[in-house]
Amino acid sequence: TGEAVNPKAYPLADAQLTITIMDLVQQAANYKQLKKGANEATKTLNRGISEFVVMAADAEPLEILLHLPLLAEDKNVPYVFVTSKQALGRACGVTRPVIACSVTTNEGSQLKSQILQLKDAIEKLLI
């Protein structure tokens, strides 16, 4: 990882938080509570069903997903960047790189408490 991360990719998760995020994204994928891709993530935000949004800081060009933080802020949805789209793709359970994904709300979900914990952690980054 010799490349500097694009400064527009804010807030960027540290190594520990990234592991937590990837773990939860993986579980969300198993529970079918995950939308992969910038377009799908945009739709979840517009429909108000997004818990939080994860974006890859190494998307090329980064501008293709910089509309998401704006939309997320409008909707009061926490968002966070991780360093690698390849790793995000793996966590989403696909072989392709994924530049953005959205964990969706689900009543009675087993992930509720973990999602809340992660939302707090992400919100602390934004302060």
The pLDDT of residue 1 is above 50: no
Q: Return the percent helix, strand and coil in the chain, to nearest 5.
A: 45, 15, 35
For the domain spanning 40-124, the CATH number is 3.30.1330.30
In whole angstroms, what separates CA 96 from the centre of its chain? Answer: 16
**What pLDDT shows up at residue 109?**
83
Band (27; pLDDT cuts 50, 70, 90): very high
- Confidence (pTM): 0.91
**What pLDDT shows up at residue 30?**
93
HSE value, Cβ hemisphere, 13 Å, CA-based, for 98? 27
Q: How far apart are CA 8 and CA 33, in angstroms?
A: 27
Who's near 57: CB < 8 A, 6+ residues apart? 5, 6, 9, 12, 81, 82, 83, 84
Annotated domain spans of the chain? 40-124
Residue pLDDT, tens place only, 72-118:
999 999 999 999 999 999 999 999 999 999 999 988 888 999 999 99
**What pLDDT shows up at residue 6?**
83
Residue pLDDT, tens place only, 29-88:
999 999 999 999 999 999 999 999 999 999 999 999 999 999 999 999 999 999 999 999
